[in-house]
Chain A
Amino acid sequence: MVTLALISDTFREALARKIFWVLFGLSTLLILFFLFLLRIDIASGATATITLFGRQAGANPNVDRLVRGVYGGIATFLYTWGMFLAVFASAGLIPSVLEPGRIELLLSKPLSRTHILLGRFAGNVLVVALNTSYLVLGVWIILGLKTGIWSPVFLISIATTTFIFAVLLSVVVFIGVTLESAAAATMITVALMIISPILAQTSLMMRLLSSEWSRNLWRGIYYSLPKVYEVGKMTLDAIQSRTFAGYAPIWSSAVFGAVVLGAALAIFQRRDF
């Protein structure tokens, strides 16, 4: 009951912020686009007639490739712009709960501090998970009905997007607990997202860097930070039925998230308000 109350409070606060509605609105626009503007008539087997805005697109395109292409596009949109918007929207949710006059009242209730922070964290992840599910499931069902192709691998993007958001949210929580600044939380989290594709070029950098210590430094940074880019690429590879190297980006990102969230909890436990 208490956990549910904390989660629903986070929901209410998230919905009171317009940026979540922007995210929801963009998702709805995409769903409506596929529902009304994209017309696919299956002619025979894998070929089709595709009509966009009433005009036929291309000659005998491969429907399976087309569907996977759309899935890839949606997953990329979610993983980049959706994630940015989600981080922007979430950055204020932790500092707001720590405001004087609000946190004392929460702490006066028979709840542990861990419970309060994790309830907030879970609520935030759930908001983004629902929005992601709404878009992915919506597009998946519409394309499935229009093409007859039901590729469940696209649904993986719900899990990976939510997972990476949870990892990034642990950074938001950490910054929120230590600095109580939504702006700082946003800047640092977005920086992690931006730096990720650069860090992913590890094999190239190992060749370019001349000294051993600089290579070790690069490796240290690479292994300790979340693999936002690589998890996104894994998702895309899975959707496009391409092979990928392994699950290391997932578990190393999970370890990062767990450590950062654990540190945030430890600091929150000891803080005076």
Chain B
Amino acid sequence: MDSEYAITTQDLTKVYRSRWTRREVRAIDGVSLNVRRGTIFGLLGPNGAGKTTFVKTLLSAVRPTRGSALIFGRDASQPEARRPIGYLPENHRFPTYFTGAGMLDFYAALSGVDAARRKKLIPEQLELVGLSEWATMRIGKYSKGMLQRLGLAQALIHSPTILILDEPTDGVDPVGRRQIRDILGGFEARGVTIFINSHLLAEVETFCREVAILHKGKVALSGKMQDLTAGKGYRLSVPHPPEALTEELRGRATSMAVRDGLVDFQFPSRELANGALDLLRAEHCEIEALAPTTSTLEDVFVRTVSK
């Protein structure tokens, strides 16, 4: 537990081979990542990029073909290395014969929580995720959002020091999402490392401190969120510009959007933005706003996976 990194992977590679045709698919290919202790890390990537395989190798559900995965410096294939992990799988299938409390009791026991502590922790966790009143109800009756919150309680009940969450807000309504973010925020404050695998870029952008984008099984981009989305251009907002000028500026801008009677042009550099401003002023157009912009994570993501 004295490692600087919560997760370390080195040249992690998983090749699936078809049993009959011997065709190979490289799900992940030489992935080397370091996730610092106490950070909130987002793993992104298009479908089939290898995110799920990567997460499964961390949990030893998938055996890597090559390379290593360490959890707090310990080989992830060792059962003890997984003791500090709280995991919420995507598309989980919790046994429906459990009640909410029964399910927490079972998974907490598997995580090594003794009976006395479980008795104390189960009501607390159910309260935390807002399911106290459903404690004795069979989970077959739970909605998808409720199951997701119960799954989160299951991941948290043994006080893990690293949380691996696969699409944690999947199927949860906006209020529930906020609630989950607040809960996870509390764990971040306690120094828990949170590793999120998600498709919801806006959510990852607001919540994660660091991010990596997997593409075709390789790390295409990684870094701190603020560095990746820092100053990337200028937005010029103009009310009702003449049509001919609009067309000309559209050609110079990286993007154009119309909203509420305003036309927003996005320019990649200050020079281009000033040039556009000169043209608009020459035509006596009014300017609503000129502001530097940062890239959204979505911009970064699209640019990265489009290469």
A→B interface (CB under 8 Å): 1-2, 4-6, 8-9, 12-13, 15-16, 96, 99-112, 115, 270, 272-273
Stretch at the interface among B103-111, B119-127, B237-245: B103-111
Contact of B110 among A100, A104, A111 (CB under 8 A): A111
- Roughly how many angstroms separate A115 CA and B62 CA in the complex, as a whole number? 17
State whether A99 touches B63 (Cβ < 8 A): no
Provide the main secondary structure of the chain B interface: loop
State whether A5 touches B109 (Cβ < 8 A): yes
Q: For the complex formed, measure the closest distance between the CB of B1 and the CB atoms of chain A, giving whole angstroms.
A: 14
Total interface residues on B, using CB and 8 Å? 35
Note all chain A residues with C-beta closer than 8 A to B218: none
- Given A5-B110, A272-B63, A273-B61, residue A109 in contact with residue B89 (CB < 8 A): no
- Given A100-B91, A102-B93, A105-B107, residue A110 in contact with residue B112 (CB < 8 A): yes
- Roughly how many angstroms separate A8 CA and B115 CA in the complex, as a whole number? 14
State whether B95 touches A102 (Cβ < 8 A): yes
- Roughly how many angstroms separate A5 CA and B96 CA in the complex, as a whole number? 17
- Please give 14 more A-B residue pairs, beta carbons under 8 A apart, in addition to A2-B109, A100-B93: A1-B114, A2-B112, A4-B109, A12-B98, A13-B97, A102-B92, A103-B61, A105-B89, A106-B110, A107-B59, A108-B82, A108-B164, A109-B107, A273-B61
- Given A2-B112, A5-B106, A273-B61, residue A110 in contact with residue B83 (CB < 8 A): yes
- Given A101-B93, A104-B89, A111-B79, residue A270 in contact with residue B61 (CB < 8 A): no
In the complex, residue of chain B having the shortest beta-carbon distance to the beta carbon of A12 = B97
Note all chain B residues with C-beta closer than 8 A to A100: 91, 93
State whether A112 touches B79 (Cβ < 8 A): yes
- Roughly how many angstroms separate A53 CA and B60 CA in the complex, as a whole number? 62
- Roughly how many angstroms separate A16 CA and B91 CA in the complex, as a whole number? 22
In the complex, residue of chain B having the shortest beta-carbon distance to the beta carbon of A106 = B110
- Roughly how many angstroms separate A1 CA and B158 CA in the complex, as a whole number? 15
Note all chain B residues with C-beta closer than 8 A to A9: 95, 106
- Roughly how many angstroms separate A99 CA and B96 CA in the complex, as a whole number? 13
- Roughly how many angstroms separate A41 CA and B107 CA in the complex, as a whole number? 55
Most buried by B among A2, A110, A112: A110
In the complex, residue of chain A having the shortest beta-carbon distance to the beta carbon of B113 = A1
Note all chain A residues with C-beta closer than 8 A to B62: 272-273
Note all chain B residues with C-beta closer than 8 A to A6: 110
Q: Does B203 contact A (CB under 8 A)?
A: no
Q: Does B85 contact A (CB under 8 A)?
A: yes
In the complex, residue of chain B having the shortest beta-carbon distance to the beta carbon of A101 = B93
- Roughly how many angstroms separate A137 CA and B79 CA in the complex, as a whole number? 41
Q: Does B267 contact A (CB under 8 A)?
A: no
Note all chain A residues with C-beta closer than 8 A to B109: 1-2, 4-5
Note all chain B residues with C-beta closer than 8 A to A13: 95, 97
- Roughly how many angstroms separate A108 CA and B55 CA in the complex, as a whole number? 10
Contact of A104 among B59, B63, B80, B98 (CB under 8 A): B59
Q: Does B87 contact A (CB under 8 A)?
A: yes
Q: For the complex formed, measure the closest distance between the CB of A38 and the CB atoms of chain B, giving whole angstroms.
A: 37
Q: For the complex formed, measure the closest distance between the CB of B82 and the CB atoms of chain A, giving whole angstroms.
A: 5
State whether B92 touches A101 (Cβ < 8 A): yes
Contact of B63 among A8, A12, A270 (CB under 8 A): A270
Q: Could you list 16 examples of A-B contacts with CB < 8 Å?
A: A1-B112, A1-B115, A2-B109, A2-B110, A9-B95, A13-B95, A16-B96, A99-B93, A104-B59, A105-B89, A105-B154, A107-B60, A110-B79, A110-B110, A111-B79, A273-B61
